[in-house]
Amino acid sequence: MHDETRMDRLAALLEQLPLPEVTRLLRRTTLMAAALGVVALVATIGISHPLIGLGACIGLSLGLVNIRMITASVARLNERQAAHPKRILASHTLARLAVTTAVVIGLMFAASQLGLSAAGGLAVFYLLLVVNLLVSLLRGVQASA
């Protein structure tokens, strides 16, 4: 499936939510990610593997930074009313993906525990985002029913 098709589907999902709900969704995801990062760091320090907790925090932070960059990019494109917004968003997404991948691979070379846990933290962040998105969508369905 093409990245543009995936972005169309994600955009269609997000368009079903009012702007205040998208803000709450992102805030909820951010707070949950921060709480998980603290728990991961404390737990891994407790078992003498602080690099795993640090990597998880880095991965969660990478996910958060990526989402913030996406929202800023979409806001800028809406203000400029670009001719091909999907193409621009797709190219920005590929660039962010390349940078994120390079960071995780770099961390793997620095310390395998750090890199693997960063990849895991990134995956957990996106899982949190998807779960919060589904919860918001289901609340919207229940409210309209």
H helices of 47-111, in order, are 50-80, 85-110
Q: Tokens for 57?
A: 């925090």
With 0-12 CB in 10 A as exposed, 13-18 as middle and 19+ as buried, what is 67? middle
Average pLDDT score over residue span 98-102: 90
pTM value?
0.78
Residue 91: per-residue pLDDT: 80
* Residue 119, helix vs strand vs coil: helix
pLDDT for the residue 110: 92
CB-CB neighbours of 76 under 10 Å: 13
**In contact, 64 and 30? CB cutoff 8 Å:** yes
